[in-house]
Amino acid sequence: MSASASPIDTLSPEGRVVRSTTRNIRRTVLPNGMLVLTERMSHVNSLSMGVWINSGSRDELPARNGISHFVEHMVFKGTTSRSAQQIAREVDSMGGNLDAFTSKENVCFSIKVLEEKAEPALDVLSDLVLHPTFTADDVIREQGVILEEIKMDEDNPDYLVNEVFTQKFWKGDSLGRPILGTAETVSSFNQEILFHEHARRFAPQTMVFSAAGDLEHDAFVERVERRFGSVSPHLDPLMASHTPPVARPHITLKRKRSLEQVQICLGVPAPPVNDPRRYGLYLMNTILGGGMSSRLFQTIREDRGLAYSIYSEMSPFRDTGSLCVYAGASVEKSREVVQLTLKELKRLTSEAIPKPELDRAKDQLRSNIVMGLESSGSRMANLARQQMYYGRFFGVDEIVADVDRVTTEEIQALAQELFQPEKLALTMLGNLGAMRVDRADLVA
């Protein structure tokens, strides 16, 4: 698909200049099935490219938990034509930024350079993605690195409270397992396992190549095809397909005496990423704990002084999601923080949101959407995510119009559906002493 290339300035009814946000997006499917997406941004000097794998840690077998993240690390250790040091030197000589990440549902390898460095950058990116060596010595060394990363995260209370909550919330499902894996699974990986997983995951059917910058689509596709066109479709690719997991309400108190604060995570199941009510959910999250003017921030931090950090966060996936409130407080104040949070959830279900507050949340969300698409890197990532999750591209104008249509009644109905006491799950981590919490304590 494609769209007109240049923005057009118009005047709003109030006399303000309004810039059209029409995007110049095009897509091509290579003969082997790999999808290439581009967005032309003629006003920028940078070019961002990413190879996206449409699978992540939730696509792993229990015995191979952490393999997606391990492969992500290992491709940087050298290829059939470049050592790890050569990769680093070439990227630095371009002034580029080479990065990667693994999530529950995706793996991404990306590079950002000036447009005139597109050819050598594409060559490095394609080489490390397609031709890793996975030498036995590198596997052993990286096992040590990732085992230390696991220990480091276990010492991070913000990470740990989320991990404990998630493992209990989606207990028995791959979505509840850690992205990094465990010490046991990581220690079991070897060269044979890595090559097997790489072949299944890095197949044309599961890869999306996205790019954004001052580029010409057809010429760029030719460059990509020269590198990726010879990759054969795998006979047994790892395609993302799941039965939605059942969320398990729980109360988990994990005692850790070394912590000065109690870390709190209070959450409920939420709709998946492509739910038609998603903009109502985003607005509700914004009002609840999405910024300095949010209800939780104002009530718990500003009015009561009970916590420094307090916020809410949406975590949507293909077939499910969660909405969680996170806070850190002293053990003496933690129970009050939970009770005040429950009261704010109850207020969303029982009281209509005042129009000025809803308008403020809409302004905040609109600004975040527009400013979040200002760089070539954010556009590149947005292209891939929209393709993988929606199979189409939403323009900024279309998204803003959908946000504007959300009513206070719709948000209240969502709150009534989500914030039911029997659906609540709570994890508290810290020096809890003799603290006890039961289900009756989760009723506002």
**DSSP per residue over 100-137, as a string?**
EEE-SS-EEEEEEEEGGGHHHHHHHHHHHHH-B---HH
> Residues near 169 by Cβ (< 8 Å), separated by ≥ 6?
176, 247, 248, 250, 267, 322, 425
Residue in 184, 366, 162 with CA at minimum distance from that of residue 267 = 162
Gap between the terminal Cα atoms of the chain: 50
434: tokens are 């003799």
Is the distance from CB of 62 to CB of 42 less than 8 angstroms? no
Cβ-contact 124, 91 below 8 angstroms: yes
CA-closest candidate to residue 385, choices 44, 50, 45, 43:
50
Burial (0-12, 13-18, 19+ Cβ within 10 Å), 292: exposed
Q: What is the distance between the alpha carbons of residues 50 and 228, in angstroms, rounded to a whole number?
A: 13
Using a 10 angstrom Cβ sphere, with 0-12 exposed, 13-18 middle and 19 or more buried, the burial of residue 440 is: exposed
Distance separating alpha carbons of residues 441 and 444, to the nearest angstrom: 8
Containing 37, the helix (H) or strand (E) segment is: strand 35-40
Across-strand partners of 11?
Answer: 17
Q: Which residues are catalytic?
A: 72
DSSP-derived secondary structure letter, 236: S
Q: What are phi and psi of 134, to 5 degrees?
A: 50, 50
Unique residue bearing structure tokens 């209990």: 168
Q: At what angle do helices 355-371 and 396-405 cross, to 10 degrees?
A: 170
Q: Is 60 left (phi over 0), alpha (psi -120 to 50) or beta?
A: beta
Instruction: Count Cβ atoms within 10 A of the Cβ of residue 398 and give its class: 0-12 exposed, 13-18 middle, 19 or more buried.
Output: exposed
Give dist(CA 267, CA 316) in Å, integer.
Answer: 13
- C-alpha to C-alpha distance for 144 and 90, rounded to whole angstroms: 26
